Amino acid sequence: MGQITLENVAKSFGEVEVIPPLDLTIEDGEFVVFVGPSGCGKSTLLRLIAGLEDVTGGKIVIDGSDATQASPAKRGLAMVFQSYALYPHMSVRKNIAFPMKMAGIDEAEQKRRIDSAAKALNLTDYLDRRPGQLSGGQRQRVAIGRAIVREPSAFLFDEPLSNLDAALRVGMRLEISELHNRLKTTMIYVTHDQVEAMTMADKIVVLQAGRIEQVGSPLELYRSPRNVFVAGFIGSPR
Ligand code: ADP
Ligand code: MG
């Protein structure tokens, strides 16, 4: 579970082609980072995978099934939004329960998953608080908890740490990496931050103007950047 293949996937908004046809395979359990400058199409690509946008060409295959036309709920993926997407009037417990309630999961199972996610994310003592009573890092963990309880075959993160301060960002990076080690679930992580890409990824996908410039491990990109753009972006000599 958690293998995602893009075949000739393309996206235009009206006349503007934001993603020219591209191919990409994400293996089960991989931590893949999409990195590139602002406006290069990272969020659009993630939203296509999530099903929040329709492709204008090509095919998306998830775990062997054609998911191109599938609704977001049917894809079995969970998008982690920035922490400010939490419901301020609901407790942490209710925030985490919300997607399960929507999915019609029974209360006992909801409780089991909330307890397990809270334990994994160190939130057990905070379940009855509201988001406003938590630190930025704790709020981000709640946002992740809301994804975990859906037991997705892959997590999709869109710059989840960009509104945290620098010190907290470093800590949360480590926590997300550790979560990946523990769950071994596919994660796709979008960032414009090269350091985040180099430290978190099994595989980095470097994007520029909707095109994939290079795909490789951090070491491969560092040692053998394919072009000046990748070299400059990854910050290695060439
Ligand atoms: P990134 O996440 O890398 O900053 P985006 O995927 O948000 O980039 O955007 C890529 C390009 O697509 C940008 O030029 C942006 O203006 C354009 N774009 C994104 N969403 C829409 C939309 N709904 N309608 C029109 N253009 C869009
Ligand atoms: Mg974006």
- At residue 83, the pLDDT reads 64
- At residue 85, the pLDDT reads 83
Sign of the alpha-carbon dihedral angle for 232, 227, 34, 47: positive
Which residue in this structure is represented by tokens 């006349």? Answer: 15
- Separation of alpha carbons 173 and 152, rounded Å: 20
- At residue 19, the pLDDT reads 98
Cβ-based burial of 231 (10 A; exposed 0-12, middle 13-18, buried ≥19)? middle
Residue 109, C-beta contacts closer than 8 angstroms, at least 6 positions apart:
100
pTM of the model: 0.94
- At residue 228, the pLDDT reads 94
- Choosing from 16, 44, 192 the residue with most ligand 1 atoms within 8 A of its CB, the one to mutate for a pocket test is 44
- Separation of alpha carbons 226 and 166, rounded Å: 30
Q: Give yes or no for residue 39 CB within 6 A of ligand 1.
A: yes
Closest ligand relative to 206 C-alpha: 1
Q: Give yes or no for residue 13 CB within 6 A of ligand 1.
A: yes
Predicted-complex ipTM score: 0.98
User: What are 207's strand-pairing partners?
Assistant: 212
Q: How many CB atoms lie within 10 A of CB 23?
A: 12
- At residue 45, the pLDDT reads 98
Averaged pLDDT, groups of 10, the chain, 238 residues long: 96 97 98 96 97 97 97 93 84 95 94 95 96 93 94 95 87 93 96 93 97 97 94 73
Nearest CA to ligand 1 atom 22: 13
CA 43 / ligand 1 centre spacing (Å): 7
- The two tokens of residue 207 are 């994007």
Closest ligand relative to 39 C-alpha: 1
- At residue 23, the pLDDT reads 98
CA 125 / ligand 1 centre spacing (Å): 39
- At residue 211, the pLDDT reads 97
Closest ligand relative to 159 C-alpha: 2
